[in-house]
């Protein structure tokens, strides 16, 4: 029997925001390989399946086990939160297959990444060009990360910060952004998007540190560009319609 690997994005974790294909792939699988927390988030889908869990920082172990199970002829779902392409399991799994000269049957199943989930809770901060940057320096040197932050700030991109768990690195990144943005620039902080303990905060560059205590590995931050503003408690980044068109409603009967 020929095995198959699904590299699955579960989105934020809440069932209402799962994709149909994600649920279908897991149901078709014999084996589920996941970080322990992610396995719990899909617990309602895995009855009767072999579930292999691992701790954080064991991404290569998860990829290796998943590939070995596929070689045994099993259908396997290798789980990522959000989207597997965005700081997820797609890259290590494909790299491992490439470096071992393996041509396995696989499918990458996209999911709602944290940037989009957080943005939806904040309003419309990603309506124009944006950059996403991971602040995890476990695999990438801090100075390289900060170089990317600087370039994104210089380019006036809306900036999405993933994995803001290293507080000194986060503070350095926000200090760099503050060199290029006004103090009143909106900053969105979303923790546990679409989960029971969700927290959504809109603050600004001059005041964001007041909320630093809630920021952890399941927090996503979005820093607006020079045109981002807040209205009715939501962040809005204009697409540019206001430069060419009139937004006034026609009240004529």
Q: What is the mean pLDDT of residues 82-110?
A: 97
The tens digit of pLDDT for each residue in 192-211 reads 999 989 999 999 999 999 99
Tens-digit pLDDT profile for residues 138-180: 999 999 999 999 999 999 999 999 999 999 999 999 999 999 9
What's the predicted TM-score (pTM) here? 0.93
Maximum distance among all Cα pairs of the chain, rounded to whole angstroms = 70
Residue whose C-alpha is closest to residue 65's, from 74, 177, 198: 74
Nearest by Cα to 173 from 182, 164, 183 = 164
Q: Report the distance separating Cα 86 and Cα 113, nearest Å.
A: 7
| Beta-bridge partners for 108 | 7
Residue the block writes with tokens 């430069």? 243
Q: Is the pLDDT of residue 135 over 70?
A: yes
Q: Give 11's DSSP letter.
A: B
The domains found in the chain, sorted by start residue, are 4-112 (3.40.1010.10), 115-236 (3.30.950.10)
Question: Is residue 146 within 8 Å of residue 198, measured between CB atoms?
Answer: no
Look at residue 126 and give its three-state secondary structure.
coil
């Amino acid at each position: 029997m020929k095995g198959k690997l699904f590299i699955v994005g579960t989105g934020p974790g809440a069932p209402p925001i799962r994709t149909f294909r994600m649920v279908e792939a897991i149901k078709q699988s014999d084996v589920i390989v996941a970080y322990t927390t992610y396995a719990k988030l899909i617990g309602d889908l895995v009855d009767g399946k072999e579930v292999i869990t691992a701790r954080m920082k064991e991404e290569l172990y998860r990829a290796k086990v998943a590939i070995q199970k596929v070689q045994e002829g099993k259908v396997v779902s290798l789980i990522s939160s959000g989207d597997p392409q965005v700081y997820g399991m797609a890259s290590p799994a494909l790299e491992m297959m490439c470096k071992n000269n393996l041509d396995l049957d696989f499918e990458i199943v996209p999911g709602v990444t944290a940037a989009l989930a957080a943005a939806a809770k904040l309003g419309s901060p990603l309506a124009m060009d944006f950059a996403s940057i991971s602040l995890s320096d476990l695999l990438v040197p801090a100075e390289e990360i900060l170089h990317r932050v600087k370039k994104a700030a210089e380019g006036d991109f809306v900036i999405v910060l993933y994995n803001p768990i290293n507080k000194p690195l986060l503070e350095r990144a926000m200090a760099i952004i503050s060199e290029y943005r006004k103090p009143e620039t909106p900053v969105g902080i979303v923790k546990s998007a679409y989960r029971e303990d969700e927290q959504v905060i809109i603050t600004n560059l001059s005041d964001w540190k007041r909320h630093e205590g809630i920021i952890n590995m399941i927090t996503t931050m979005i820093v607006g560009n020079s045109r981002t503003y807040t209205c009715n408690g939501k962040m809005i980044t204009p697409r540019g319609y206001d430069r060419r068109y009139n937004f006034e409603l026609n009240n004529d009967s």
